[in-house]
Structure 1
Amino acid sequence: MDKNQITRLCGICDKPKKDGIYLYQLFICTECEMDIVATDPRDEAYSTYVKKLKAINQSTFTM
């Protein structure tokens, strides 16, 4: 891995990634972003994503 590449911990999959977006203070990797957008609300993973994204509104949430 190139030492100059910055990795961040994804708030969804909890893995270090270099590409993604910030939703307020929560970093979401590109792979999780695409999964969230494509997930059907009836899918089991949907509730997991909702729970993780709710952390954004928690006053105790820190990076």
Structure 2
Amino acid sequence: MEESVRQCCIICGQEKEFGITIISEFICESCEAEMVRTDVKDEKYPFFIHQLKRIWVQKNA
């Protein structure tokens, strides 16, 4: 029986089992779903952009 692997979400910082990996960074299912539903005028939108930029900064560091 295979054990679930928990990874730390780059958006919320919590360890979760399910989500997506972009390059080498993990985004949990709930953050992914919230990002997809967030309008560009929403106050949380800049936060998501800032967190996603960390993927590219870490890749190019």
TM beyond 0.5: yes
1:24 aligns with 2:23: yes
1:48 alignment partner in structure 2: 47
- How many residues are matched? 57
Fraction of identical pairs, as percent: 35
Alpha-carbon offset, residue 25 of structure 1: 1.1
Alpha-carbon offset, residue 5 of structure 1: 2.0
Structure 2, unmatched stretches of 5+, are none
AA aligned opposite 1:39:
T
AA aligned opposite 1:16:
E
Structure 1, unmatched stretches of 5+, are none
Q: Look up the SS of the partner of 1:37 in the other structure.
A: helix
1:10 alignment partner in structure 2: 9
Normalising by structure 1, report the TM-score: 0.84
AA aligned opposite 2:24:
Q
CA distance in 2, matches of 1:5, 1:26: 17
1:3-62: CA deviations, max 9, x gaps? x221000000000000000011110000000000000001111000000001111123xx
- Deviation beyond 4 Å, 4+ runs, structure 1: none
